């Protein structure tokens, strides 16, 4: 059993992108003075609660402090207003405005206490964008099942999720983790299936990333091919790749021990000159 001390969820008020937001946050081992700070960015249908004990286990193995939060529209954070759709550049906005505003609101000086970002899926894309846009305020990025371009396999799987939301108990299941499951689901699903989103990609940003990157992907990922993480290394050659057999989109669920070991090793390597 994990021995990490986890604080109760707190709510942080901030202003970003012209609106006031209330974001659900949770600290892990916040009193572990001097330890690296690991910030967790969830997937497109995720939330702070949906990580379950994963962040605690990672922080224990890597000797880190941790920060978990639910992005705008997810978990217990401010939901999207009814009928509002996310713009094509919503991940850029999260990386450039919301995450920096959250860190400031929590009194984290990211230029001094440089975080390591662990992102999954959409969260991994946001982590990569943050590293490109704020190179002096990040120590490293672990990108698990990131998206750097829109592939047909991604669109097909997201379309299947739409049918499941309409026809199965998926809405009820998401309601266990989101105050407004429609905000979480449609905010993610609508933009990914918007024809305008097909041209979305991160090519112009990846080459700006200066920090170390560990890119992880399951060989059997149903939401993207290995072209995603290999494309990161093509444009950011300092990237280390971990391609995991017998593993789908959620490597931290399918192969947790392998991923925890990789993250702990990556964080440990950041403490030494690379």
Kindly report the three-state secondary structure assignment for every residue of 55-108.
Answer: HHHHHHHHCCEEEEECCCCCCCCCCCCCCCCCCCCHHHHHHHHHHHHHHHHCCC
Helix (H) or strand (E) holding 11: strand 10-16
Task: Name beta bridge partners: 244.
Answer: 218
* pLDDT > 50? residue 112: yes
Q: How confident is the model at residue 89 (pLDDT cuts 50, 70, 90)?
A: very high
* pLDDT > 60? residue 7: no
Other Cβ atoms within 10 Å of 164 Cβ, number: 14
pLDDT tens, residue by residue, 217-245: 999 999 999 999 999 999 999 999 999 99
Which structural domains are found in the chain, ordered by start? Answer: 10-270 (3.40.50.1820)
What is the model's pLDDT at position 9? 80
Contact present, 95 and 129 (Cβ < 8 Å): yes
Q: How confident is the model at residue 19 (pLDDT cuts 50, 70, 90)?
A: confident
- Mean pLDDT of all residues in 191-216: 97
* pLDDT > 60? residue 152: yes
- Mean pLDDT of all residues in 157-162: 97
* pLDDT > 60? residue 1: no
Instruction: For residue 260, give the nearest of 213, 214, 212, 210 by alpha carbon.
Output: 214
Instruction: Kindly state the greatest CA–CA separation across the chain.
Output: 53
**CB neighbour list of residue 68: distance below 8 Å, 6 or more residues apart:** 25, 26, 28, 40, 48, 51, 55
Kindly report the three-state secondary structure assignment for every residue of 27-69.
Answer: EECCCCCCCCEEEEECCCCCCCHHHCCHHHHHHHHHCCEEEEE
């Amino acid at each position: 059993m994990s021995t990490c001390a986890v604080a109760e969820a707190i709510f942080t008020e901030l202003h970003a992108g012209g609106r006031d937001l209330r974001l659900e946050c949770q600290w892990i081992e916040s009193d572990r003075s001097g330890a690296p700070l690991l910030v967790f960015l969830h997937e497109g249908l995720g939330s702070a609660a949906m990580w379950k004990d994963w962040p605690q286990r990672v922080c224990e193995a890597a000797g880190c402090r941790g920060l978990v939060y639910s992005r705008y529209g997810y978990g217990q954070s401010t939901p999207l207003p009814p009928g509002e759709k996310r713009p094509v550049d919503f991940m850029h906005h999260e990386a450039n405005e919301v995450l920096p505003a959250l860190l400031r609101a929590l009194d984290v000086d990211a230029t001094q206490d440089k975080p390591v970002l662990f992102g999954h899926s959409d969260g991994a894309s946001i982590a990569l964008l943050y590293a490109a846009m704020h190179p002096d305020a990040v120590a490293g990025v672990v990108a698990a099942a990131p998206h750097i371009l829109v592939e047909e396999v991604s669109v097909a799987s997201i379309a299947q999720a739409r049918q499941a939301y309409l026809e199965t108990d998926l809405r009820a299941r998401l309601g266990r983790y989101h105050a407004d499951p429609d905000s979480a689901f449609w905010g993610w699903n609508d933009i990914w299936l918007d024809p305008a989103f097909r041209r979305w990609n991160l090519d112009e940003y990846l080459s700006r990333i200066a920090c170390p990157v560990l890119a992880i992907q399951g060989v059997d990922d149903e939401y993207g091919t290995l072209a995603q993480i290999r494309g990161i290394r093509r444009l950011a050659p300092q990237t280390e790749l971990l391609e995991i057999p017998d593993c789908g989109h959620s490597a931290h669920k399918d192969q947790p021990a392998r991923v925890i070991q990789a993250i702990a090793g990556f964080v440990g390597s950041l403490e030494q000159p690379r």
